[in-house]
Amino acid sequence: MDVRRRIPVNPQDVKNDPGQICEIKTDQDDRVALDSDAAEDVEIHDESLDDKSRKGANSDLSKTIPSGTNKTPDFLLVYLSVLPLRWQNWVIRGIFTLLMSLFFAFVVYLGPLALMITTLCVQVKSFAEIINIGYAVYRIHSLPWFRSLSWYFLIASNYLFYGENLVDYFGIAANRTEPLRVLVKYHRFISFSLYIIGFVWFVLSLVKKNYMKQFSLFAWTHIALLIVVTQSYFIIQNIFEGLIWFIVPVSMVIINDICAYMVGFFIGRTPLIRLSPKKTWEGYIGGGFFTVIFGCLISHLLCRYDYFVCPVVFDEDLGRMSTACERSYLFRLEDYTLPLFLSGIMKMRFYPVIRTYPFVIHSFYFALFSSIIGPFGGLFASGFKRAFKIKDFGDFIPGHGGIMDRFDCQYLMATFVKVYISSFIISPSPQHFYSQLLKLPTEHQLVIYKALQESLEREGYRVFVKL
């Protein structure tokens, strides 16, 4: 049997002398010269090793990616310079937390459309922060088209996901206009075509000796799209279910973060995890305790107002989005009998009944998730940042960091709420059903119409058709 064995060749020698012949030794000690392509492969491999060594030597991105945690605005620096650095950061963090909370309340006041636009802006900024880290890691600013490709895929992804929402909730209005009807009918095909254009564009932009870098950033871009765009799509869908499905989970994550930080800052002694040394068990438990209390209270309060509990629908008569509806059973007061041990604690032995909204019970599970699992979204982001030796995703928010530093847990929470609604709170959308019905051929629509007419007549309704 002819057994072949490759003799190791020094890559540096091949690089210095491309014409050098690599040897393959057989059992008969035959020597066979490799062609020039093999020598070129060794040369490329050697250059990739050089790239890796340079990358390993310069993998600290702390000077490339700005940090906002310890950033103090100039107009506040004069007043806070007398405080220790620890307290400076505490004050700055508190001020901008208050400003962000006021801004959030203002956007909620403006209505569903303002919330959706804000979600889109947050998504774009989060994507930019993640992609900028990728550019800094691979140092490929000279590669053609890659920055443009990343943003192109973001636009194509948003066209798909936001288009799905528009088709589901505004399909009735869109089908009445001929150009929009075509976009609605072929929405997914158009979305797929947009992605294929980007895919072909990427293949044509490949540059020799940079394949690994380009494919790595291609994967990086798609992971960023999965983390950011998909989660923001869930956020939009939660808003359409009713503002309360958005406001309560978001508020829980905010309160959990604030309370965990406050408790940990003042009484935290026991480290929670090595991945994030500043997080403590005291902060983790204290944040969870206050989150559960806050979640039940704010849920009970918001359930009183139709503005927060009604699904967001397009009103054809008004020509705009509306939040008027007949309340779901989730938002009607009901009596709940407490277990004996709880009734004793609450001193209600003679009347162990509490009157509240069913939604409050669901919000309790939201609070548990945001307290127990939610922080792991932040820990995941901490591990990501530590992998690249950066402190923050950016410096957009003084005292906090970048947008992703504040929304790492929000994206995880949005996914949970969407899955929870789909699993336990199933509310079919008439707009979605109607938009699907319009896609059917006319004869199939007539079959459904006759079946529906017969069903209504059996229920005692008389159906009149205007011709």
Task: Note the pLDDT of residue 345.
Answer: 58
Q: Which pLDDT score is estimated for 20?
A: 44
For residues 27 and 259, which has the higher predicted lDDT (pLDDT)? 259
First to last CA, the chain: 88
Mean pLDDT of the chain: 79
Q: Once rounded to an integer, what is the mean pLDDT over residues 209-225?
A: 90
Q: Is residue 291 within 8 Å of residue 370, measured between CB atoms?
A: yes
pLDDT of residue 68: 60
pLDDT grade for 376, boundaries at 50, 70 and 90: very high
pLDDT at 47: 43
Q: Are the CB atoms for 363 and 301 separated by under 8 Å?
A: no
Q: Are 252 and 367 in contact (CB under 8 A)?
A: yes
Q: How far is CA 358 from the centre of its chain?
A: 28
In the predicted structure, residue 208 carries a pLDDT above the cut 80: yes
**Higher per-residue confidence, 9 vs 325:** 325
pLDDT attached to residue 342: 61
Instruction: Identify whether the C-beta of residue 253 lies closer than 8 Å to the C-beta of residue 370.
Output: yes
Whether residue 251 contacts residue 239, with contact meaning beta carbons closer than 8 Å, is answered with: no
Query: Helix (H, G, I), strand (E, B), or coil: what is residue 313?
Result: strand
The more confident residue out of 77 and 465 is: 77
Among candidates 194, 293, 254, which has minimal Cα distance to 378? 254
Residue 347, phi-psi category: left (phi > 0), alpha (psi -120 to 50), beta (remainder): left
pLDDT of residue 83: 81
Q: Which of 377, 109, 368, 373 is nearest to 247 (CA)?
A: 109
CA 271 to chain centre: 28
| pLDDT tens profile 322-337 | 778 888 899 999 988 7
pLDDT tens string 45-81: 444 434 443 444 345 666 667 666 666 677 777 777 7
What confidence category does residue 207 fall into, taking pLDDT thresholds of 50, 70 and 90?
confident
Contact in structure between 248 and 425 (CB atoms under 8 Å):
no
User: What count of Cα atoms within 13 Å lies in the side-chain half-sphere of residue 336?
Assistant: 14
CB neighbourhood size of 60 (10 A):
10
Residue 176 has pLDDT above 50, yes or no: yes
Question: What band does 340 get if pLDDT is binned at 50, 70 and 90?
Answer: low
Query: What percentage of the chain has pLDDT greater than the value 90?
Result: 37
Neighbours of 394 (CB within 10 A): 23
- Distances in Å between the Cα of 315 and the Cα atoms of 126, 183, 264, 326 are 33, 21, 48, 14
Token digits of residue 319 = 């020509």
* Distance from C-alpha of 229 to C-alpha of 159, rounded to nearest angstrom: 11
Give the span between the Cα atoms of 255 and 290, in whole angstroms.
Answer: 8
Q: Tell me the average pLDDT across 310-328.
A: 78
What pLDDT digit, counting tens, does each position of 351-365 carry? 567 889 999 999 999
Q: How many other β-carbons are positioned within 10 Å of the β-carbon of residue 301?
A: 12
Q: CA 301: distance to chain centroid? A: 28
Q: What tokens does 459 get?
A: 């229920």
Distance of CA 327 to the CA centre of its chain: 30
The CA-based angle 302-264-380, given to 5 degrees, is: 80
Higher pLDDT, 412 or 7: 412
- The neighbour count for residue 421, using CB atoms within 10 Å, is 18
Give the model confidence (pLDDT) of 403-428 as tens digits. 998 888 998 999 999 999 989 987 55
Instruction: Give the global pTM.
Output: 0.76
Q: Distance between CA atoms of 350 and 347, rounded to whole angstroms?
A: 8
